[in-house]
Structure 1
């Protein structure tokens, strides 16, 4: 069964709509984690801040990822504003440009985001710095003028933010910058390899995750097969989409993320 046949068998278009509560969640899900992590770091409790920083990075990624696919339930300006996440220490618009190409050219030579999927797990980890550079470099080479402008605006803003933090020795911000940069270096492993390795025969059928607590702890970010089949569906709706797929297509072979 090919990609088109799968889509035809599952009802999904109603899942694109968000209630007011769902829209508020999707647009603010990262805020509590950021505030708690910064507060703990400000007080000098860096080890206590670490899990909150990790959850901030994950939820911020969820938030901007929904923005990539216009799934935040807001207009263009608010979506653009939500995606200008200086605090993630990378150009979100550069990530968006490559992510949309990833969906279009999934695991092919033109898919620069997906390069680490064909590597061993440890190679994907060490590939992280090159992945981060390539995401920005390919945006500079291939993106349109507006996308490049957004990327440079973000990079300049990030540079100013980093300069202020280090020049004035604002320790809790230096901590945050360091953790976020470390997270960016692991993106080739966590955001690409984990969900796409050993799926090259059927790139559109990415790995997915089942298990209530696993998906709660990862904020539904590993329903990746569901996302690739129906990218317009917001993350908050992916558990329901997964149930529909399992019911309609029980024979579909699903590789687990972990």
Structure 2
């Protein structure tokens, strides 16, 4: 069954729009996790801050991922600002990530898909590849991206550098902690954001892995509905649970490989 045939069989276009409540959730999901982790780190409780930092990183990924596909329900400037501000807080040029992610959808798991390189590796190979992955997505964007992408990447990298200079110069320890945790998170992206959802799917790259156990989707903020996302990238993350039900009803024959 082709992608075009799947699009015709599943009702999905109504899922693209967000209610006011959903819009507020998608655009503010990172805030409580950031505040709690920073307060705990400020008082030196770094171990207790760590899970909240992890949830900030995960919700930040969800937020920018929706921004990549214009699914935040905000205008162009606010979507740009979401990507820019998360670049500084997550220690990576999010526009570089966006450039490679859009290519990932277009060239999924072939030679032109630089984001997807780690999908063909072993799980430990994907972890070790992490730092190279982060370097590569910046390099590829600066080489292949248009002027807007290149400008945004350079602005974001300059802003990250300034942020790091300020927090180290003034010894702002809770933000130094935050930055180090975010860098570690970025180094694990090739494993968590690519390998987990795409390994052993090269025969049918459009059918990524998915997660259907409710409690697992709760703790991962629905970020592992990846089959659903690849088939319908315009659908916001908050609507993916409903989309998964519709896919199951309309196309029960589709194989659903589990993420974890």
Give the shorter-chain TM-score range. over 0.9
From 81, 88, 105, the equivalent of 2:107 is: 105
| Cross-structure match for 1:22 | 22
From 212, 224, 227, the equivalent of 1:225 is: 227
Structure 1: how far apart are the matches of 2:259 and 2:2? 21
Post-superposition Cα deviations, 1:3-57, rounded to whole Å, max 9, x if no partner, equal 2211111000000000000000000101110111011000100000000000000
Structure 2: how far apart are the matches of 1:241 and 1:125? 31
Structure 1: how far apart are the matches of 2:35 and 2:150? 30
Deviation of 1:245 after TM superposition, in Å, equals 0.4
From 119, 122, 133, the equivalent of 2:121 is: 119
Structure 1: how far apart are the matches of 2:227 and 2:186? 22
| Cross-structure match for 1:61 | 61
Structure 2: how far apart are the matches of 1:2 and 1:122? 33
Structure 2: how far apart are the matches of 1:164 and 1:42? 16
| Cross-structure match for 1:47 | 47
| Cross-structure match for 2:159 | 157
Q: Look up the SS of the partner of 2:22 in the other structure.
A: helix
Post-superposition Cα deviations, 1:215-247, rounded to whole Å, max 9, x if no partner, equal 000000000000000000000000000000011
Deviation of 1:96 after TM superposition, in Å, equals 0.2
TM-score normalised by structure 2 residue count: 0.98
| Cross-structure match for 1:185 | 187
Structure 2 unmatched runs, 5+? none
List 4+ stretches of structure 1 deviating above 6 A: none
Q: Does 1:245 align with 2:223?
A: no
Structure 2: how far apart are the matches of 1:156 and 1:93? 13
Structure 1: how far apart are the matches of 2:28 and 2:153? 23
Deviation of 1:168 after TM superposition, in Å, equals 1.6
Structure 2: how far apart are the matches of 1:167 and 1:23? 37
Deviation of 1:169 after TM superposition, in Å, equals 1.4
Q: Look up the SS of the partner of 2:139 in the other structure.
A: helix
| Cross-structure match for 2:147 | 145
Q: Does 1:33 align with 2:19?
A: no
TM-score normalised by structure 1 residue count: 0.99
| Cross-structure match for 1:128 | 130
Instruction: Name the count of aligned residue pairs.
Output: 258
Structure 1: how far apart are the matches of 2:187 and 2:152? 21
From 214, 217, 236, the equivalent of 1:215 is: 217
Structure 2: how far apart are the matches of 1:87 and 1:206? 29
Structure 1 unmatched runs, 5+? none
Structure 2: how far apart are the matches of 1:166 and 1:129? 22
Deviation of 1:212 after TM superposition, in Å, equals 0.8
